[in-house]
């Protein structure tokens, strides 16, 4: 078995995906939870689990570069193997991303590469897509454009609203995010030198999702 990994989780809000990681009994040590907002609800959750917390407020810095430098300094105090973005709502500079190449992952509420950025559920409904979902990917300088580790798809129902679709997708986020982190911590997933993701597991066959269903 590989040596136990250290991870640092970055959040900006309630931290529901962070909570999913805490519940998952992952084979790693969660060294710290860091937020750019002092009132992020997830910080209280982390403290209740005995996890170190820190706040690096983006409002305290003149530009993104200065904020990212301070954030990197705080992260590096914990010497993490991986940095996990769990609802961290800041666009990171290229320099920050390159500092952690192959070590930083993010969860995004769409089937990438479709619907990068925000308001993914409303945009999917506007376009009339029939299958939507979520993705866990390595972070690269391209916004939500990094190599994908795992995805989950859900059907879009005829009476969906952005809220109902979001709830269905979030349920899957809470399933696939811990799986991706588990693979990383077991050295079963990695970013290859050619920029592609390698995962040491069997492919699943016969699990097609068709929506609406066939007659």
Contact predicate 59/32, CB 8 Å: no
Q: Which two tokens stand for residue 44?
A: 């209280």
Residue 9 Cα to chain centre, angstroms? 9
Whether 171 sits among the annotated catalytic residues: the reply is no
Please pick, among 58, 108, 121, 171, the residue that the annotation labels catalytic. 108
Residues annotated as part of the active site: 108
């Amino acid at each position: 078995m590989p040596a136990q990994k250290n991870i640092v989780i970055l959040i900006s809000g309630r931290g529901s995906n962070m909570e999913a990681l805490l519940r998952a009994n992952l084979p790693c040590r969660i060294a710290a939870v860091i937020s750019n907002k002092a009132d992020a609800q997830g910080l209280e959750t982390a403290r209740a689990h005995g996890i170190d917390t820190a706040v690096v407020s983006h409002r305290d810095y003149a530009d993104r570069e200065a904020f990212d430098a301070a954030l990197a300094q705080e992260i590096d105090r914990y010497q993490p193997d991986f940095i996990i973005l769990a609802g961290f709502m800041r666009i990171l500079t290229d320099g920050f991303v390159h500092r952690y190449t192959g070590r930083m992952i993010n969860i995004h509420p769409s089937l990438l590469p479709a619907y990068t950025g925000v308001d993914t559920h409303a945009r999917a409904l506007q376009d009339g897509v029939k299958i939507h979902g979520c993705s866990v990917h390595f972070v690269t300088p391209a916004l939500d454009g990094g190599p994908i580790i795992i995805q989950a798809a859900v059907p879009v129902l005829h009476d969906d609203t952005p809220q109902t679709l979001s709830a269905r997708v979030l349920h899957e986020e809470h399933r696939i995010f811990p799986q991706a982190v588990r693979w990383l911590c077991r050295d079963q997933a990695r970013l290859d030198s050619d920029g592609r993701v390698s995962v040491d597991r069997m492919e699943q066959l016969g699990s097609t999702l068709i929506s609406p269903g066939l007659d």
